[in-house]
Amino acid sequence: MIHLSNVEKVYRTDRIETVALSNINVRVEQGEFISIMGPSGSGKSTLLNVIGLLDVPTGGEVTLNGRLITSYGDRSLARVRNEEIGFIFQTFHLINDLSVVDNVEIPLLYRKMSGAERRKRALKALEQVGLSARVHHFPSQLSGGQQQRVAIARAIVGGPRILLADEPTGNLDSQMGDEVMSILKALNSLEQTTVVMVTHDQRQAEKTARIVRLFDGRQVN
């Protein structure tokens, strides 16, 4: 599905050069459940962004379904992000001026679909994450765990083939973390959704089939 070979990412600010990733080779295949582990600052989020097509590496190649992503135009890249990828951000990134259900509907706005259909799917996704009682609340009226679940609902509402989650349990207590994990596991086993998850929780990581370990931007095994 998504293959990274010799990927390198260097951030250049005025004088400082940060090598966030170097020589990364990862193959993400359909139906896999992968976790990315490593200490803070080791490049986990950067790697996830590259896999999720939210960022382009400064070196190496990324292919999606056998095609280099640099060959995709803006429209087709947007379509892939919209239809094939669901992204759960570490800091949720909910729009505070929109209600829970309106936030969840956003990915569907960029598809040809009736308003009623959008609403139906958004409510279903919220039900999946157990938030049916909060659909008309605003993000600021929710707890961190509830916000995390809104973010998950938004990531799954479009039925993506691959779900990318950046520390989805990091802000949650262990019980709620387990709940989120079981949602992800269910999606993976029941709907063959590929899941790539960043975590620094060894216990959660062990529940996944494969662990990619990073240290200082490099892969370690």
Partner 1 sequence: MMRHIWKLVWNRKRANALIVIEILASFLVLYAVTLVGVYFAHNYRQPLGFSYDRVWLVEIDWQRESIELQPELEEEKEAAMMRQLLTAVKEFPEVESAAAMSVVPYSNSTYSSGFTWKGRQVEFMFNRGTTDTAQVLDMHLTAGRWFTEADAAGSSFRPVVINRRLARELFGTENPLGQVVKEEQDKVERRVIGVLEDFRKDGEFSGLQSYMFEHATLGKSKGGQPNNFVLRVRPGVTAAFEEKLTGKLRSMAPTWGFEVKPIEQMRESTLLWQLIPLTIFGVIVGFLLIMVSLGLLGVLWQNVTQRTKEIGLRRALGATAGEVYAQIVSELLVVSTFGLSLGILAVIQFPLLKVVDFISPTVYFTSLVISLGIVYGLTVLCGLYPGWLATRVQPSEALHYE
Ligand X SMILES: Nc1ncnc2c1ncn2[C@@H]1O[C@H](COP(=O)(O)OP(=O)(O)O)[C@@H](O)[C@H]1O
Chain residues in the site for Mg ion (CB under 5 A) = 45
Which residues, numbered 146-175, are part of the site for partner 1 (CB under 8 A)? 154, 158
Site pattern 127..166 for ligand X (x: CB under 6 A): ----------------------------------------
Query: With the CA atoms of 200, 202, 203 and 208 taken in that order, what torsion angle do they form, in degrees rounded to the nearest 10?
Result: 90
Q: Minimum Å distance from CB 140 to partner 1?
A: 12
Decide: 153 and 99 in contact? Cβ < 8 Å: no
Considering the rule CB under 8 A, would residue 68 count as an interface residue with partner 1?
no
Side-chain half-sphere exposure of 26, counting CA atoms within 13 A: 27
Q: Determine the interface stretch with ligand X among 10-18, 117-125, 139-147, 148-156 (rule: CB under 6 A).
A: 10-18
Least distance from C-beta 39 to Mg ion, angstroms?
Answer: 10
Nearer to partner 1, 90 or 176 (CB): 90
Using CB under 8 A, count the residues that bind partner 1.
Answer: 28
20 near ligand X, rule: CB under 6 A: yes
By the rule CB under 6 A, 42 interacts with ligand X: yes
Q: Find out whether 4 and 60 touch, Cβ atoms under 8 Å.
A: yes
56 is an interface residue for partner 1 by CB under 8 A: yes
* 22 sits near ligand X (criterion: CB under 6 A): no
215 touching partner 1, by CB under 8 A? no
What is the helix (H) or strand (E) element at residue 196, kind and residue range?
strand 194-198
| Minimum CB distance to Mg ion smaller for 38 or for 107 | 38
Q: Which is nearer to ligand X, 37 or 104 (CB)?
A: 37
- Alpha-carbon distance of 82 to 187, in angstroms, equals 18
CA-nearest of 140, 159, 154, 168 to 48 is: 168
Kindly give, in sequence order, each residue whose CB lies less than 8 Å from that of residue 135, ignoring residues fewer than 6 positions away: 99, 100, 101, 122, 123, 126
Return phi, psi of residue 213, to 5°.
Answer: -105, 135
Amino acid at 174: S
Number of residues in contact with ligand X, rule: CB under 6 A? 12
Residues contributing to the site for ligand X (CB under 6 A): 11, 13, 18, 20, 38, 40-46
